[in-house]
Chain A
């Protein structure tokens, strides 16, 4: 389609505007991290400090247990992703492939769990974890995050499995695979883009959590996740926003790295050629 210069201008203008809107908070986080408290309090604000304080990153890394917080966040996220993916791959595959009485209603019922706000579930979850003596353990986050992730990822994966022709599994079964073997050897490799996208969604959801970590882990500093840890950096009388921002940059880095790593899987098209 040929665009007129005016149409092109409108299109690129919109793209630049949207990109600026999305990237501005990230940019401002960086500006805050490398500014001094004095820079931050001046009006009008400066869009880049006269002297960027890159040393803030090293200072925060040394003075605060950032590595421990990141490790805890990572463990909780990896645990949640692993548990959620195992459950939702099997559930999504079953919902996609098997006709069972009430299967559709069951699928919708799973989704209702996702419709409840996380803050509503925090009280019953707290009560359950307390009864099991788990409060303060990272396992509470793994389980709590999974309750949020599984309903959504199950449906995401069901939708993805629906697009994979059944004949692929049938061919694998004729070739000697068991039904489970056909799923593992053929369906899952073909579903890699779907699995990658779903895992990333699950990871981000767990990584970004604050409410559950605050509720279940606040009295166990050794288990603090990065998001919870950062909030403890606020002082009673003064707050070093540049240090908080520098810590927030550390929290954002793993997600960016993971995005870059999974980007090629997120692009679909692997199934091209399976059929006509």
Chain B
């Protein structure tokens, strides 16, 4: 096990920069998740870390060693691939032991460690089968077995759960989490699924267009997003955004949302004349509150104990761009309510202005 130090690593193809200078200190035993939409550079970063792609610049240290120019096999890392990448011509036993064999480990030691890894991952029964005779979940376990058997200094995982069905994904997510707690190996995990990121990570690195947007623990990301993109990316359903002009008077600065005049500290606004206000769906409440308004739901989705209520936010509605949710349906309120609720009937909602997030309309940075 070791800490990983990534300093100013960047990658360009000609004039096209796919990964902007990336720096990150990963503590020994930490579980880091790189998350972002397709093409954000997260897999490129992982491949550079693995040595499968050369970086254009920067350096990487694994523990005390600089590994920037080392071959993948010399880095003492193990990688789990999205499509498992099991060797189809080898049995499960040979697949798991392949890395040890390549390192000249004695046969008896290979057998002992393969059996141990197989026991941890509960694949002992399948040791003499070929990958094609296994289910998706079993293949994924074998891929994990191939990684843990070598007892590497770090695990790199490239969207390892995205080929599994929803139920198995939740199960394997928990298993990977448990495995990490048990082995304590430094792990860098890439996913485009924010729920995986939030549930598994000690810290999450959110990326977009080859650039880090924010590095923080899951709670901080949710509660204090640094910019509009992070605010929209984290949370499901995504945050609602409304543009608002700042009104300044003798009484101080204020914005108007849903007909409610909401005072805003001038120091927080940093001179902005237009802001984007963000409010999470779960921060709307049924009935009157500090800021109350009436809406006519265009769509009500019932999830049993709660309801997703969609309503028109008017001309001020703003899309966060790459938010996973469909903003064309309007704004969304997530209400803890199990009773009947009809579309087209007026509904009184409220929110607490203290829970509003404000972003600069130009820079899209959070205003705090």
Contacts and interface: CB of A to CB of B under 8 A. Distances in A.
Interface of A: 165, 167-168, 170-178, 181, 186, 189-190, 192, 270-276
Given A170-B72, A170-B85, A173-B72, A274 B136 contact: no
Contacts of B87: 168, 171-172, 186, 189-190, 274
A165 B85 contact: yes
Interface in B107-165: 130-134, 136, 139, 146, 150, 163
A274 B85 contact: yes
Contact of A190 (B52, B82, B88, B150): B88
B19 interface: no
B359 interface: no
Interface residues of B, number: 33
B84 A274 contact: yes
A273 B102 CA distance: 22
Given A173-B52, A175-B98, A273-B132, A167 B88 contact: no
Nearest to A173: B72
A274 B50 contact: no
B182 interface: no
A190 B98 CA distance: 15
Contacts of B73: 173-178
B83 interface: yes
B136 A276 contact: yes
Given A167-B83, A175-B99, A175-B146, A190 B78 contact: no
Interface string B69-93: 0011100011101111111110000
Interface in B43-83: 47, 50-52, 71-73, 77-79, 81-83
Contacts of A276: 83-84, 136, 139, 163
Given A174-B52, A174-B78, A175-B99, A273 B85 contact: no
Contact of A171 (B71, B85, B130, B150): B85
A272 B85 contact: no
A190 B89 CA distance: 6
B167 interface: no
- In the A-B complex, the 6 residue pairs with the closest CB atoms: A273-B132, A176-B102, A273-B131, A176-B73, A175-B99, A167-B85
A96 to B, nearest CB: 17
B16 interface: no
Given A173-B72, A176-B103, A177-B102, A275 B52 contact: no
A273 B136 CA distance: 9
Given A273-B130, A274-B86, A170 B52 contact: yes
Given A170-B85, A186-B87, A273 B139 contact: yes
A176 B75 CA distance: 9
Contacts of A190: 87-89
Contact of B79 (A171, A186, A189, A273): A171
Contacts of B77: 174
13 contacts: A167-B82, A167-B83, A171-B146, A172-B87, A173-B51, A173-B73, A174-B79, A176-B99, A190-B87, A271-B88, A272-B88, A273-B133, A276-B163
Given A171-B81, A171-B85, A272 B72 contact: no
Contacts of B78: 174
Nearest to B47: A170
A164 to B, nearest CB: 9
A195 to B, nearest CB: 12
Contacts of B51: 173-174
Q: Which of B72, B86, B130, B139 has the most CB of A within 10 A?
A: B72
A275 to B, nearest CB: 4
A145 B307 CA distance: 74
Interface string B326-359: 0000000000000000000000000000000000
A2 to B, nearest CB: 30
B50 A174 contact: yes
A273 to B, nearest CB: 3
Contact of A165 (B83, B130, B131): B83
A264 to B, nearest CB: 14
Most chain B CB atoms below 10 A, which of A176, A178, A181, A192? A176
Contacts of B99: 174-176
A167 B139 CA distance: 15
